[in-house]
């Protein structure tokens, strides 16, 4: 099993390829890394030259197929999750202090002095603004005051896209900081993936599709004694208040798994999340802040 790791999209990327090391494998892994770099340059809200930054700055733009497809998918996910997943949480994230890449946030949070840029408590920001996608003209128009953040769904999208590329060389697994897409069946029959629970770790066998974890245990920071994290509840415009720590979801793709995981995290708590996952038949692992762990949606 070949393993190739690198940094992209502000996280650790890992590509596994079940194939002897040869020219095709080397080329596939190099193309995978280049594709991550290309997608980051297009979809990052932290790079001023990215298509997403230009769209957010102007409110409208003619965009490439990646941003067009991902925005369409994000808007559709907003509809299918009843608004729990929402790509228009950009301003709420910035208001909460997530206004630059997380490495810089973490280093700034360690400084004990008050930061004049950030208010001690974030103001609620409005979410749910209109996002209009004109596929025939490759054009996206945002309602006034609406800006997009595609952070999580972009990682899932990138994992799916790169696994499609790498899958041509053999069975593969692509992990973008935990958003995982697999293609092809490995010799073991399934891809064994470790998931942290309240009391240790379990291993899930994933035959195909994708898996993603959404939670408030990483990408969180302390400001003025309060804890902030990057999961914004679009209903309030504030970091979500929930007793769930993280949710891991299995779906047909990493992109879908990411949106469903975020949606379940905002379901209202551990029991509500379990009920919803069982009703939808979504295999998932839910971990509460006190360590309680439930498997739901048919996962045993």
Partner 1 sequence: MTNHVARLYALATSLVVFVAVWLAVSAHPWAQSSAALPANTPQMARLAAREHHLRAETRRVNLIVERRFAAYRRALARRNHANAAARARHNRQLASARTAAAVAQRTVVAQSPVAAPPAVRVVTLPPVASTRTS
What are the residues binding partner 1 (CB under 8 A)? Answer: 1, 11, 14, 16, 135-136, 152, 155-156, 173, 175-180, 186, 188, 190-196, 201-209, 211-219, 246, 248, 250-252, 258, 281-283, 295, 297-300
CB 121 to partner 1: min, Å: 24
Nearer of residues 125 and 213 to partner 1, judged by Cβ: 213
CB 231 to partner 1: min, Å: 9
CB 26 to partner 1: min, Å: 20
Nearer of residues 119 and 205 to partner 1, judged by Cβ: 205
CB 67 to partner 1: min, Å: 17
Alpha helices in the chain (DSSP H): 23-43, 51-58, 65-80, 90-96, 102-109, 151-166, 254-265, 270-280
How many angstroms separate the CA atoms of 278 and 274, rounded?
Answer: 6
Nearer of residues 145 and 207 to partner 1, judged by Cβ: 207
CA distances (Å), 111 to each of 89, 105, 197, in order? 26, 10, 31
Instruction: Using only the alpha carbons of the chain, give its radius of gyration.
Output: 19
Instruction: List the structure tokens of 42.
Output: 């297009």
CB 135 to partner 1: min, Å: 7
Closest CA to 74 of 4, 10, 128: 128
Nearer of residues 124 and 186 to partner 1, judged by Cβ: 186
Nearer of residues 97 and 177 to partner 1, judged by Cβ: 177
How many angstroms separate the CA atoms of 73 and 173, rounded?
Answer: 22
């Amino acid at each position: 099993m070949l393993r190739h790791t690198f940094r992209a999209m502000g996280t650790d990327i890992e590509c596994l390829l079940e194939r002897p090391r040869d020219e095709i494998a080397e080329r596939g892994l190099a193309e995978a890394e280049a594709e991550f770099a290309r997608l980051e340059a297009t979809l990052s809200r932290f790079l001023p030259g990215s298509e997403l930054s230009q769209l957010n700055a102007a409110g409208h733009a003619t965009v490439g197929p990646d941003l067009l497809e991902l925005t369409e998918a994000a808007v559709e996910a907003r509809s299918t999750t009843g608004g729990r997943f929402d790509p228009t949480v950009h301003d709420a994230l910035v208001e909460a202090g997530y206004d630059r890449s997380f490495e810089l946030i973490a280093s700034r949070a360690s400084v004990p002095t008050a930061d004049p840029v950030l208010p001690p408590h974030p103001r609620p920001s409005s979410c749910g603004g209109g996002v209009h996608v004109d596929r025939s003209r490759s054009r996206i128009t945002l309602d006034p005051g609406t800006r997009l953040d595609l952070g999580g769904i972009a990682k899932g999208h990138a994992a799916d896209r790169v696994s499609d590329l790498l899958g041509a060389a053999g069975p593969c697994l692509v992990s973008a900081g935990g958003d995982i897409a697999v293609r092809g069946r490995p010799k073991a029959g399934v891809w064994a993936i470790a998931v942290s629970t309240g009391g240790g770790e379990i291993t899930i066998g994933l035959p195909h599709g994708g898996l993603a974890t959404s939670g408030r245990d990483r990408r969180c920071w302390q400001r003025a004694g309060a804890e902030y994290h990057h999961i914004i509840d679009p209903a309030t415009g504030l970091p979500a208040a929930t007793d769930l720590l993280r949710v891991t979801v299995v779906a047909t793709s990493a992109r879908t798994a990411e949106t469903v995981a975020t949606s379940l995290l905002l379901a209202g708590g551990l029991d509500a999340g379990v009920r919803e996952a069982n009703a939808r038949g979504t295999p998932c692992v839910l971990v509460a802040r006190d360590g309680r762990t439930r498997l739901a949606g048919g996962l045993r």
